[in-house]
């Protein structure tokens, strides 16, 4: 574990301790810079927040979809993710992934197993991932994230690119002070998706 205080992991601590169902949907704009807008929303029963990221990309929807579903390469652009693996599928139309994150001391490192699904809603491609139990044995020294939900909505924009709308929430498990997570609720998504734009969209 790094004994430093960098920004928290994208996949876990920018996501917080409640599901989409408990969100107020009262999104408040926290950052608007370089084409990346980061919103936060507080749950009705938690001191933590959820995150939403909205941006427009010149990449077509199919290209953005491919990057998101290329889970083995997530570690190259997601903050603090040191391991991202695609797991064996149970059958056609399913995908599973495993992530390990190296988080700052004194917080214990996390891992998580996600199940992915994709569907179309008109012109919009919707990609969702959520935690699943029993797929990978728990690892000593790591806290398994018990609940995580991610939703990516990819819609063609008027310029032929992609309108990107991402929502995330999770229970990272274990003991994490709310102030510690909330301090980075805007930094993590902003820096990560800014990196995404620079790496894949040439922005």
Residue ranges per structural domain of the chain: 10-200
What is the arithmetic mean of pLDDT over 19-29? 62
Give the pair of three-digit tokens for residue 178.
């709310």
Distances from the Cα of 115 to the Cα of 68, 85, 98, 148, 203, angstroms: 13, 12, 9, 10, 30
CA distance 68 to 196: 10
Distances (CA, A) of 39 to 53, 66, 139, 160, 178: 6, 25, 33, 25, 17
| Residue 193 three-state SS | helix
pLDDT in tens, 76-100: 999 878 999 999 887 777 899 999 9
Q: Is 128 exposed, middle or buried, given 0-12, 13-18 or 19+ CB atoms closer than 10 A? A: middle
On whether the CB atoms of residues 129 and 97 are closer than 8 A, the answer is yes
Q: Tell me: domain 10-200, CATH 3.30.530.20, correct?
A: yes
- Rounded CA-CA distance 188/178 in Å is 15
pLDDT digits (tens, 9 = 90+) for 29-74: 999 999 999 998 876 656 566 899 999 999 999 999 999 999 999 9
What percent of the chain shows pLDDT beyond 90?
A: 54
Please tell me the predicted confidence (pLDDT) of residue 183. 63
């Amino acid at each position: 574990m790094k004994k430093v205080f960098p920004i928290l992991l994208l996949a876990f601590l920018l996501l917080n301790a409640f599901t989409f169902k408990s969100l107020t949907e009262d999104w408040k704009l926290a950052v608007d810079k370089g084409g990346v807008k980061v919103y936060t929303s507080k749950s009705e029963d938690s001191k933590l927040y959820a995150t939403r990221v909205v941006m427009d990309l010149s990449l077509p929807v199919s290209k953005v979809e491919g990057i998101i579903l290329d889970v083995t390469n997530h570690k190259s652009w997601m903050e603090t993710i040191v391991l991202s693996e695609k797991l064996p599928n149970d059958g056609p139309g399913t995908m599973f992934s495993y992530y390990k994150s190296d988080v700052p001391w004194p917080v214990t490192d996390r891992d998580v197993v996600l199940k992915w699904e994709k569907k179309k809603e008109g012109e919009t491609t919707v990609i969702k991932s959520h935690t699943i139990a029993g797929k990978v044995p728990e690892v000593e020294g790591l806290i398994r994230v018990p609940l995580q939900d991610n939703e990516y909505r990819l819609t063609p924009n008027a310029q032929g690119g992609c309108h990107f709308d991402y929502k995330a929430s999770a229970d990272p498990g274990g003991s994490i002070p709310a102030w510690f997570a909330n301090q980075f609720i805007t930094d993590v998504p902003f820096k990560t998706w800014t990196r995404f734009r620079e790496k894949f969209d040439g922005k």
